[in-house]
């Protein structure tokens, strides 16, 4: 049996790097794809050569990591980097089996004639998570190749993060690419004409984007919740018609049946699959290990590990509970679970209409998922006590409630704000004079029970949050993000509502 000759491997690397030959550009199919907003965040990290670090691009499957890397290559070439000093390797290709990162770098040098010195070079290792001891080899390369900027990517975010923390301290910069925000979704579809810029002037000023056609915007919002988390899905009606095959078979099953079992040694895949299906169906609802264990017959410790694995794989997020006075519970018996991408629910079950009973939970999942793109996500909680609940509470540095949001997919409370007793009780207990409530289609600011209540359609809320987070990160001023978002929940108030509570 003949062994695969080295020149075949070199030719494969050359095929992966078409920019080494005229016209010195990435594959036109990659170049024609719309740029994600996150390119503007990733590119400065890669090109800042004053810090000797590798950039570690993490994220769930099919959110556009490989496309983002190729767009980065194109931007480097446009910035004047010599094309043959940029090398991309898809590490999971079978031809590279048995090759360490050092071996791959040597092959890149041979394939592209990259010298050991000279101007900076850029090497991209795509899908590194299954390469044994990749983190050790990458750290060594960072230390021994000061003129090369290394970028590694992978879908198993949990394993990458763990290895990065263990072996890459001071050598790796982590960058998470999440599913599409609603703001990105609208931008990629060239439908920003549906939005009007925030008008912060005058007594009715608002920090939120507006719209002249809320019905059209809500139509897109419903599509986003059902289909919009993955870039290639939003452009393909065929995939939308067969969402189960694309998302479930190509994304979810690969994570549940291959990635997590191989990374964590999970034996009973059916247990894991069943748990995830249950959590997905109950997205935005409170669950407990006790209840899950009772219904499934699986030990609580095992369920706890599974939930940690699912969260680490960026399929779900757990949110912890606080009480009416904003205090956390000593024992976290109950918690909420949210899908990080609302469209996963549609793939597992079926797309929802905006009139379905479960659509409110999907809208809440969509609202929460916008925050998963921000560092503030670690301070998000929900409040629950025997007589009430508040959907989203953000804690300040003192671990006290800074602001609260109640997510509704109905206009009912716009005319009956006095019925929001839970929100008023929580606000009074925590010294808050202003709260925000989402609606389906109407905006209004009123005073009820001595509390300023800002109503905003949930689609506008999601767009504004996503927009401000990405723009804030681009400005590298997270403090400004916090300030701007706090303003979102502290609107200028209109005259008080009539005593009847009706407008």
Q: Residue 251 pLDDT > 90, yes or no?
A: no
Q: Please report the pLDDT score of residue 485 as a whole number.
A: 43
Which of left, alpha, beta for 117 (phi over 0: left; psi -120 to 50: alpha)?
A: beta
Find the distance separating the first CA and the last CA of the chain, reported in whole Å.
83
Return the percentage of the chain with pLDDT > 70, whole number.
88
Q: Residue 448 pLDDT > 80, yes or no?
A: yes
C-alpha to C-alpha distance for 260 and 269, rounded to whole angstroms: 9
Once rounded to an integer, what is the mean pLDDT over residues 205-231? 93
Return the minimum-mean-pLDDT range out of 49-58, 150-159, 334-343, 409-418: 150-159
Global confidence as pTM: 0.87
- Calculate the average pLDDT of the chain: 87
CATH code: domain 6-176 is 3.40.50.300
Q: Please report the pLDDT score of residue 474 as a whole number.
A: 64
For the chain, the domains span: 6-176, 182-192+207-488
Q: Residue 165 pLDDT > 80, yes or no?
A: no
Q: What is the 3-state secondary structure (H, E, C) of 353-388?
A: CCCCCCHHHHHHHHHHHHHCCCHHHHHEEEEEECCE
* pLDDT band of 187, cuts 50, 70, 90: very high
Q: Which residues are 201's β-sheet partners?
A: none
DSSP 180-237: PPHHHHHHHTT-GGG-B-----STT--SS-B-S-HHHHHHHHHHHHHHTTSHHHHT-H
Per-residue burial over 365-395, b if 16 or more Cβ lie within 10 Å, else e, is bbbbbbbbbbebbebbbbbbbeeebbbbbbb
Look at 436 and 58; give whichever has higher pLDDT.
Answer: 436
Q: Please report the pLDDT score of residue 209 as a whole number.
A: 95
Q: Please report the pLDDT score of residue 129 as a whole number.
A: 80
* pLDDT band of 116, cuts 50, 70, 90: low
pLDDT digits (tens, 9 = 90+) for 12-41: 999 999 999 999 999 999 999 999 999 999
Look at 415 and 265; give whichever has higher pLDDT.
Answer: 415
pLDDT digits (tens, 9 = 90+) for 329-357: 877 789 999 999 999 999 899 999 999 99
Q: Residue 176 pLDDT > 50, yes or no?
A: yes
* pLDDT band of 117, cuts 50, 70, 90: low
pLDDT digits (tens, 9 = 90+) for 226-250: 999 889 889 888 888 888 787 777 7
* pLDDT band of 268, cuts 50, 70, 90: confident
Q: Residue 168 pLDDT > 60, yes or no?
A: no
Q: Please report the pLDDT score of residue 77 as a whole number.
A: 97
Return the percentage of the chain with pLDDT > 90, whole number.
64
Q: Residue 301 pLDDT > 60, yes or no?
A: yes
Once rounded to an integer, what is the mean pLDDT over residues 34-50? 93
Tokens of 48: 């800042």
Q: Please report the pLDDT score of residue 65 as a whole number.
A: 94
Q: Please report the pLDDT score of residue 61 as a whole number.
A: 84
Q: Please report the pLDDT score of residue 163 as a whole number.
A: 56
Q: Please report the pLDDT score of residue 382 as a whole number.
A: 97
């Amino acid at each position: 049996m003949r062994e695969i000759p080295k020149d075949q491997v070199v030719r494969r690397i050359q095929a992966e790097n078409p920019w080494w030959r005229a016209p010195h550009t990435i594959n036109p199919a990659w170049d024609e794809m719309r740029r994600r907003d996150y390119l503007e965040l990733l590119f400065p990290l890669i090109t800042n050569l004053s810090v000797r670090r590798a950039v570690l691009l993490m994220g769930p499957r099919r959110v556009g990591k490989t496309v983002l890397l190729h767009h980065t290559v194109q931007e480097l070439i446009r910035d004047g980097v010599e094309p043959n000093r940029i090398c991309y390797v898809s590490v999971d290709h079978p031809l590279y089996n048995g090759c360490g990162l050092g071996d791959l770098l040597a092959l890149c040098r041979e394939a592209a004639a990259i010298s050991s010195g000279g101007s900076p070079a850029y090497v991209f290792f795509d899908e590194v998570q299954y390469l044994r001891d990749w983190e050790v080899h990458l750290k060594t390369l960072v230390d021994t190749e000061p003129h090369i900027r290394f970028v590694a990517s992978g879908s198993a975010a949990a394993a990458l993060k763990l290895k990065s923390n263990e072996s890459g301290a001071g050598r790796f910069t982590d960058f998470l690419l999440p599913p599409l925000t609603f703001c990105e979704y609208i931008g990629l579809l060239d439908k920003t004409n549906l939005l009007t810029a925030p008008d912060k002037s005058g007594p009715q000023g608002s920090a939120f984007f507006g719209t002249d056609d809320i019905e059209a915007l809500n139509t897109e919002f419903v599509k986003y919740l059902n289909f919009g988390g993955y870039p290639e899905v939003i452009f393909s009606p065929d995939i939308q018609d067969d969402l189960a095959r694309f998302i479930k078979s190509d994304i979810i099953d690969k994570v549940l049946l291959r990635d997590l079992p191989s990374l964590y040694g999970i034996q009973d895949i059916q247990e894991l699959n069943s748990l995830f299906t249950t959590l997905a169906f109950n997205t935005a609802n409170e669950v407990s290990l006790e209840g899950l264990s009772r219904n499934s017959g699986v030990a609580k410790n095992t369920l706890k590990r599974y939930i940690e694995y699912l969260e680490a794989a960026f399929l779900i997020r757990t949110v912890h509970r606080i009480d009416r006075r904003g205090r956390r519970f000593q024992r976290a018996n109950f918690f909420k679970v949210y899908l990080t991408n609302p469209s996963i629910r549609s793939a597992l079950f079926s797309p929802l209409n905006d009139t379905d009973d479960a659509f409110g939970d999907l809208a809440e999942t969509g609202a929460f998922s916008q925050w998963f793109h921000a560092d503030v996500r670690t301070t998000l909680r929900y409040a629950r006590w025997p007589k009430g609940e508040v959907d989203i509470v953000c804690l300040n540095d003192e671990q006290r409630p800074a602001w609260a949001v109640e997510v509704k997919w109905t206009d009912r409370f716009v005319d009956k704000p006095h019925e929001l007793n839970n929100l008023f009780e929580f606000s009074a207990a925590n010294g808050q004079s202003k709260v925000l409530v989402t609606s389906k289609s109407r905006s209004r600011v009123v005073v009820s029970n001595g509390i300023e209540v800002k109503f905003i359609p949930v689609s506008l809320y999601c767009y504004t949050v996503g927009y401000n987070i990405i723009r804030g990160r681009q400005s590298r001023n997270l403090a400004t993000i916090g300030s701007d978002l706090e303003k979102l929940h502290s609107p200028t108030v209109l005259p008080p509502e009539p005593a009847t509570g009706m407008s």
